[in-house]
Structure 1
Amino acid sequence: MSRLQADHLYKVFGRRPDESVRKLADGADRDDLRADGTTAAVIDASFIVEPGQIFVVMGLSGSGKSTLLRMLNGLLEPTAGRVLFDGKDLTALSPRDLRAVRSTKISMVFQHFALFPHRSVLENAAYGLEVQGVPRAERLARAGEALELCGLAGWEDSWPDELSGGMQQRVGLARALATDADLLLMDESFSALDPLIRRDMQDQLLELQKRLKKTIVFITHDLNEAMRLGDRIAVMRDGRIVQLGTAEDILIRPSNDYVASFIQDVDRSRVLTAAAVMTEPGPAGTGVSGSGRAAADACGCETVGPDTLVADLCAVSARVPHPVAVKDADGTVLGVVPQSRLIGFIGDEQRPPTACDAPGTGTEEVPAHA
Structure 2
Amino acid sequence: MHLDTAIENALARQRIVGAVVLVARDGEIVYRRAAGLADREQGVPMREDALFRLSSVTKPFVAAAALKLADDGTIDLSAPVTEWLPHFRPRLPDGTAPDIALHQLLSHTAGLSYSFQEPQGPYRKAGVSDGLDQPGLTLEENLARIASVPLAFAPGTRWRYSVATDVLGAVLEKATGMPLPEIVRREVTGSLGIRETAFHVIDESRLVVPYYDHKPAPARMADIQAVRFMDGEATFAQQRIFDPASYPSGGAGMAGTADDVMRFLLSLRTSNRAILAAATVDRTGPQAMTQGPGWGFGYLGAVLAHPKEAHSPQSPGTIQWGGAYGHYWFLDPIADLVVVQLTNTAFEGMAGMFPRDVRNAAYKDFIRS
TM-score tier by shorter-chain length is under 0.3
TM-score normalised by the chain length of structure 2: 0.26
| Structure possessing the higher relative contact order (Cα contacts under 8 Å, 6 or more residues apart) | 2
Higher helix share: 1
TM-score normalised by the chain length of structure 1: 0.26
